[in-house]
Structure 1
């Protein structure tokens, strides 16, 4: 029963699309038909319209059936939640809708041009939201190339079918080589699951929306071609290869992240002398001189301090004096012996550089009254003076 209703709904949907194609014309709005995306990610969908609708309001409508779809975002009324974004490039007649934080419920949409006092012009597209790897995807949906250079796009796929590279509203390249608006396009399978597209000799008019297609699934890619301002003019140039930088741009037009695809490289050399290149060597040299002088000053200061701390040897003068009185001729006569020793120390300096001092030591030993003739003992007196 469910399958019968499903088939009936699809038939009605196809009839509605056919009627719009007949009544409004096939080329009223051109966009992709089916895109494989991962849940939680974002996707940007371009919608090409005819030039007579430049000043008309454009909008995104969500829902499987056109008569019951609801407004998601309009060019004159942005979405306050930020889930839906819309922008209108009136130079290329393309308005772009961006859907963020995709879920399994975000699958059926309509690109619409609002017609005053008449039926709006819609174009349906389907999003196949998966939790795993999409069946067709590119590393970056927005890329940048440079005038006169080349750029390479890798289309990763997992399903079978014919592979092609197309420009929105223009022709497609299905073989190994071809051209789109005069720009050379070459394609090849770099490995079983990667379809590589190379566009050579880029021009500013090559900017715009393209898509990879594998069977019935497409993935849009926006290419911006601009001047390469990363190189500076020089007097001498060594020619090697050319380098192309690919940048990822966020859906609102701001830079999100970058990836460099190196096709080649230009190396430039300067013959003229630039004085500012000497600033760094001179600064380093001055810094080294200052450090050396500082170390020399510290070592010299320590040496002077060490020399001043040495204790000089005190000069020493020693005077010895020995006084001996003559003995009396008689043996019993009192004997008196005097010994005198004088030591004189001069000019002694301590380790703390104290003032000069003189120290005098005197030692006198006197023996009195030996023994008298009467046999009596006499006392002996010793005196010591320091």
Structure 2
């Protein structure tokens, strides 16, 4: 977190445990009462709100920059403070920054939180684009397979229809051949009968006395 030379800064330390609260500088002194000072900077501690230790540092100096710990019982929450020169065109702001608890005093997480917040959105966008690309590829493959299946099915249906037509055509030809053969046989038999009758009529009967 950042403050300005001669200004104030407020830190909210959230917790869920009981115990004595305080504000300490790494390798320096601690303030465990409602007010005190660390290296010439006034410190005010408020524990009236349940679950929150509020620390206010007033009259910041450049020498106030460094690592601090918000203490609650056995819990220590590291906070890094950077004090810059106050701009000449603006008044000293009052900065309030919430601090998440951690059990590791030497954790670097607070100093990297800004970078994490800045990089999470591009990462989420990349993940979303990757998922969308995979969905499009899978959808294209499914569409191509369905289209190919439909074409194969249509070709199979066309072949089946052609085969049925050929069978019907062959069957009709066969029936026509049988009919012609049958008619030929009937006509030939009728001609043979007529020849026999004519031959019988040409016979001359004679009577022997």
- Give the TM-score normalised by the residue count of structure 1: 0.25
Greater length-normalized contact order (CA 8 Å, ≥ 6 residues apart): 2
Q: Specify which structure has the higher proportion of strand.
A: 1
Q: Specify which structure has the higher proportion of helix.
A: 2
- Give the TM-score normalised by the residue count of structure 2: 0.45
